[in-house]
């Protein structure tokens, strides 16, 4: 688990983002799912997925707006 990288979060005291789905909770752990680094990572992963599985939003050089559940994240 932790391979898709969508769920990476910032954990206080850790220098790298950690996968929330594969990180064991510890007493006193401070987790931020909406830190700048976590949000930018999530956007990047979603962009890669959209490029790999294009829909009509990528036609015409990407000028059309995406019309799916990813719209608010990218």
What is the extent of the structural domain holding 32? 8-73
Q: What is the pLDDT of residues 8-19, one digit of tens each?
A: 999 999 999 999
Q: What is the pLDDT of residues 26-45, one digit of tens each?
A: 999 999 999 999 999 999 99
Q: What is the mean pLDDT of the chain?
A: 83
Domains identified in the chain, total number: 1
Does 3 map to a domain? no
Mean pLDDT of the 49-72 span: 64
Does 29 map to a domain? yes
Nearest CA-CA partner of 20 in 6, 34, 39? 6
Mean pLDDT of the 52-57 span: 65
Is residue 66 over pLDDT 70? Answer: no
* Residue keyed to tokens 């059309």: 64
The CB-based long-range contact list for 29-36 (8 Å cut-off, 24+ gap) reads 33/9, 35/9, 35/10
The confidence score (pLDDT) of residue 65 equals 59
* Contact between 43 and 73 (Cβ < 8 Å): yes
Does 67 map to a domain? yes
Does 56 map to a domain? yes
């Amino acid at each position: 688990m932790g391979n898709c990288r969508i769920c990476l979060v910032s954990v206080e005291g850790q220098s790298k983002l950690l996968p929330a789905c594969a990180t064991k909770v510890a007493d006193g752990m401070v987790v931020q799912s909406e830190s700048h680094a976590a949000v930018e990572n999530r956007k990047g992963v979603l962009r890669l997925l959209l490029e790999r599985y294009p829909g009509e939003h990528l036609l015409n050089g990407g000028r059309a707006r995406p019309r799916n559940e990813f719209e608010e994240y990218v």
